[in-house]
Every structure is written in C-alpha cells, then in structure tokens.
Amino acid sequence: MSFDDTPLMPVVFVGHGTPMNAIEDNEFVHEWNRLGSELPRPRAILCVSAHWETRGTFVTAMDMPKTIHDFYGFPRELYNQRYAAPGSEELSAIVKDHVKTVELDYEWGLDHGSWSVLKHIYPSADIPVVQLSIDHFKGPQYHYELARELFFSPL
C-alpha cells in the first residue's frame, strides 16, 4: 500500500469511556457506528492512546498487532473481545521518518483505548491500525509539538 496519493483525512478525538462500551449497546456505541458510516474510509489509522505510557515515544510496527486487555475486574465477555485489524509497517516507518523522536515498537499492540472504539467505528477490522504511545516523562508542550509534527502530507 502506498500513501503517496493519500488525501488529508480528518483528525478525530474519541474518548472511550468505560471499557464496557466495547460490548454494550448504548448511545456512545450508536454514535461511534454513525461516525464510521460518515467518515471517509481511511487507508490506515494512527491512534494515539493515553493507555500506552512509555519512556520515549513509540509507534507499533507489526503486521498483526495483538488485542491488549489492559483492565481488570470486568466480565469474561469483555476479555474475549478481539480486534484483529492488521498493522502497517509502512505507516509506522513514515511516522518515524517524519517525527524524529519516535521509535518503532514490535511488542505492544492495540490497547482498549484504541480497539474498544474502533470495533464500533470500523467493525470489519480491515483497515490497518498503528498506535502511538504517550511519553509519561514529557509534558503537554512536548505532546503538542508531537501532534504538530504528525501533521504532514502524505499520511
């Protein structure tokens, strides 16, 4: 897949609320379904998740990121959920090339900050997804500048 002729896509902030929204039928889920039907279909998705806190900034770089269940004390049904979207090593490399402080990660996957929402927006899980971490040791200004660096074309 090439991103050379990709038009700019909208940037969307979606808070996931409780992990239970992954398996419940409620107004949040209905809005996420609607969002998926109204957004242009992306070639790939870059998710920034506050649930992946690291020392440094990383982007997942594997063909098939695992579904991470990073919560405790919920019903078994929630732990059985999988979001088997492919990754995109190409998109990960582009992010690393454009944002010099980003390193590639081959271990993490998709945590519930990403998959619990994406499973409702794009339920077929056929769009490549990569996830970007939050550097726990950097402040808001660093992350603001990081977001500015992510605004490039093509992505």
pLDDT for 155 equals: 42
Question: Residue ranges of the domains in the chain?
Answer: 19-150
* Cα separations in angstroms, 104 against 44, 93, 154: 17, 8, 19
Max intra-chain CA distance, the chain: 45
Closest to 32 in 3D by CA, of 127, 120, 114, 124: 120
CB neighbours (10 Å) of residue 76? 6
H and E: helices and strands count for the chain: 5, 4
132 Cβ neighbours under 8 A, 6+ residues apart:
46, 47, 48, 49, 52, 57, 58, 59, 95, 102
Considering the entire predicted model, what is its pTM? Answer: 0.91
Token pair recorded at residue 77: 């049904």
Cis amide prior to 123 (ω within 30 degrees): no
pLDDT for 153 equals: 54
pLDDT for 2 equals: 65
Side-chain half-sphere exposure of 121, counting CA atoms within 13 A: 23
Residue-by-residue pLDDT tens, the chain, 155 positions: 667 677 778 889 999 999 999 999 999 999 999 999 999 999 999 999 999 999 999 999 999 999 999 999 999 999 999 999 999 999 999 999 999 899 999 999 999 999 999 999 999 999 999 999 999 999 999 999 999 998 875 54
Apex 10 CA angle, 36 and 126, nearest 5: 40
pLDDT for 100 equals: 87
28 Cβ neighbours under 8 A, 6+ residues apart:
17, 21
CATH dotted code for 19-150: 3.40.830.10
